Structure 1
Amino acid sequence: MKSVDLVIVGGGIFGCAIAYYYTRNYPAKSVMVLERKELCNAATSRAAALMTVVRSKQSYIPLSLETRAVIPELEKQLGESLDMKTVGMMHVAASEAREKDLQELMAIAGTYEQPAEWLRADEAMQKAPWLKADEARAIAFLPQEAYCDPYLLGTFFARCAKQQGADIRQGVGVQSMLMEGNTVVGLQTDGGKLYAGKVVIAAGAWSPLLARQAGIGLPMAPVRSQYWITERSSLFPEASPIVLLPDAQAYARPEGGALLFGVRENRSLSLSPDLIPEEITEFSFSPDRGMTDLSEVIERLGRFFPGIYDIGLKYYMAGFSAYTPDGNLSMGVAPGVNNLLLATGCVGAGIAIAGGVGRAFAELAAGRSNPYNFNDFDISRFGKIDPFSQEWLDKCAMARSKKVSG
């Protein structure tokens, strides 16, 4: 019978980050990460990985700042570079409403002492030759924003955690929670019973399945995120910035001499966690590689990227992100259940906030107070919900369809 201080279910970027901070800050305690497939091979590796710091939802910002702060430490420990691309981010506002949003965002940047400046349309188009910005009412540039390889960042956390003593096990599935009344005492795994002082669920799209066993309706739903990568072109310099186009509900960033871009389709696909296969590659996110969805909104994007009609699309990528109706994370201490923590509901921001999430849950797992304010992420904020109902899935999908940020 195995017993550990902390067991983490899920070897994505959240689970690996929690293991890293826990082993770093509490080296005398034992931690095990259980991943039924391969580390960082589901949502993490499929992310567009915008490392956005300055956001309208200010509760995210301290979490993102922690990610930025820890990356040099991971690189130093491993003696390797993450090769994060600090190319900056342009926000292009072409309507009165989005211009007002952008003015508020610039004020937030000042509050957090993040560099930011206004650009003219010709300056913006010089930075991003593919961009048509003559209709813009306002353009802001935040030079410290970045993107990265999400799989690499997740495995940097895992490798450092392992060096610090974490027991990371791949190919081990969790069958059920072990409960004594309203207290979680461990897990039934493929390899037998595992007892733990604390359990963290960080299983991404599958998290509601385990939470249900503890009597918790976890307020999140798996919603498809999708993006495309164009053919290579001189229009897409590798050092050009990330571009957010809220009026087109789109974002774009360079990708090795090509352009990676994503749009919010009119109706996002959501799926009950019951129906998602264990092996995510077995799921067809779109039979036509998202072309029907893209065709429905291409005019919005073509207004700012006229080349979209002519450029070839070489790659398509899709995955599940955990969305909520209000666009806030769903994570923290499980309500009404002892010894259970829920690191879930990434809302498409999981890569950027991974450092803060890792630090927060490491402290909570050690019985300490959360260093961050998670009030906006309270798991009980929607009241009693059924996360498997079609009504709930539709609400979460609509939240992504209406999203205008990156």
Structure 2
Amino acid sequence: MGKKVVVIGGGTIGAGVAYYVSKMGNAEVTLVDRDYIGSGNTAAAASLVTLARTKKPIIPLVMETMLAIGEMEALLGEPSGVMKVGSIHVVASDTSEKSVRNLMEIAKEFGLEHEWITAEDIKKRLPWIDISEVRGGAFMKDDCYMESTVLANNFAKAAKLCGATIKQYTNVEEILCKQGSVTGVKTNKGVIDCDVVVDAAGAWSNMLSMQVNEAIPMAPVRSIYWITGRRPGLFNPNQPMAIFPDASAYCRPEGEALLFGIRDKTGLHVDPKALPNSMHGYNMISEDESWDILMNEGEKFQEFFPEFQDMEIAHCISGISTYTPDASLTLGKAKNVEGLYVATGCSGAGVATSGGYGRIIAELIYNIPLFTNIDSFSMERFGNFDPFDAIFRQQCANARSNKKEG
């Protein structure tokens, strides 16, 4: 048997890492989660998967996720629940037209199927939208949405078929090191000896890595989305998703309802030390604040959605995303500890990039040439910083507020 690898965190990224490390080599892999697979912030993900992105280094990771989904469907003999409905990037200004036209050039560069569609075409596909200010938009055919918990569990089941051990309800309390190298992890159920630890603990990652003087450049940042009441005929699950760069908003079908998100201008960051062990029942927004964001910061989105004022809002979902100051990713080998790898800081793209995270970490562990360049995801790109510092955390929150893509 080869290396002993412990992956901390059973979300889409951690489970994806466990799958790839299990299938690509002879390591003895243990996937550990303090709760159950897919129970953390994965469960609150909006789960849009958009392929074309202005941050081009992220695209190969999303493409890898789509390949992994097909591979796991064949391996497990069960559907993944992916809804390949495409997405429309809606243009209503000179600024958004320039950015969306640029996105189409990027899509062309990566061989992603896309087309410019008229405002009338958008209205046919999204009957609820007001197109009076809409110039048209870019339709990205291969984009999709899915159930994030299904993806996490499929990764875990596939990892188990490849030989991994899954330990749920097992809380990692400490990364154990000796003379600068990983020797194991201490859990509430005892010590697990290993040569390699992958920190994929999401919002809690720095609480573990900082024990061994490894700062990860990301912070927990609140994410919010809403789900309307059911409106059969107006919404259906086969409608395309939509991105509104002019409104810093996005939406996708949720059955016969609409799931939509608005990126609040003053993002709320959280001190990792103040996070609860479980997100179950942990609400990060009051009802009053939710309505304030909808009525004020969501005003531009409402211009595209004239029935909004009369629409029932059935749910407001708040959760935690892990953002970097540049709204990119964080993954790779730790600087100070031999055998420690980091797979976190996904900037709201954890579901979409989970397969890519998994493949890259596996290639690093097995010393295989990387399938794509990861220099822009380096943990050292921000120099010296304190991940617990409020100013640094605000920079991460600002990155979410300024995000225009899905």
Q: TM-score, normalised by structure 1?
A: 0.96
The aligned residue for residue 201 of structure 1 is: 199
The aligned residue for residue 32 of structure 2 is: 34
Question: Structure 1, residues 292-340: CA drift from partner, whole Å, max 9, x if none?
Answer: 2222212111111111111101112121110011111111111122111
Q: Which moved more, 1:187-196 or 1:122-131?
A: 187-196
CA distance in 2, matches of 1:269, 1:181: 39
The aligned residue for residue 8 of structure 1 is: 7
1:220-299 equivalence runs, <5 A: 220-233=218-231, 234-288=233-287, 290-299=290-299
1:5-404 equivalence runs, <5 A: 5-26=4-25, 28-233=26-231, 234-288=233-287, 290-404=290-404
Q: Which moved more, 1:340-349 or 1:391-400?
A: 391-400
Q: What is the deviation of 1:188?
A: 1.3
Q: Which moved more, 1:363-372 or 1:390-399?
A: 363-372
Is the Cα–Cα contact under 8 Å of residues 220 and 387 in structure 1 kept in the other structure?
yes
Partner of 2:403, secondary structure, is: coil
Extract unaligned runs of 5+ from structure 2: none
Q: TM-score, normalised by structure 2?
A: 0.96
Q: What is the deviation of 1:193?
A: 2.0
Aligned AA for 2:36? E
Extract unaligned runs of 5+ from structure 1: none
CA distance in 2, matches of 1:127, 1:238: 12
Partner of 2:194, secondary structure, is: strand
Partner of 1:247, secondary structure, is: coil
Is the Cα–Cα contact under 8 Å of residues 45 and 148 in structure 2 kept in the other structure?
yes
Question: Structure 1, residues 378-405: CA drift from partner, whole Å, max 9, x if none?
Answer: 1011111011111111111111111111
Q: What is the deviation of 1:4?
A: 6.0
Is the Cα–Cα contact under 8 Å of residues 331 and 357 in structure 2 kept in the other structure?
no
Aligned AA for 2:238? A
Aligned AA for 1:337? V
Partner of 2:246, secondary structure, is: helix
Q: What is the deviation of 1:181?
A: 2.8
Q: How many residues align?
A: 403
Q: What is the deviation of 1:377?
A: 0.7
Moved runs in structure 1, 4+ residues, more than 3 A?
none
CA distance in 1, matches of 2:3, 2:173: 18
CA distance in 1, matches of 2:263, 2:48: 16
Is the Cα–Cα contact under 8 Å of residues 185 and 195 in structure 1 kept in the other structure?
yes
Q: What is the deviation of 1:254?
A: 0.8
Root mean square deviation, CA, Å? 1.4
Partner of 1:8, secondary structure, is: strand
Aligned AA for 2:104? M
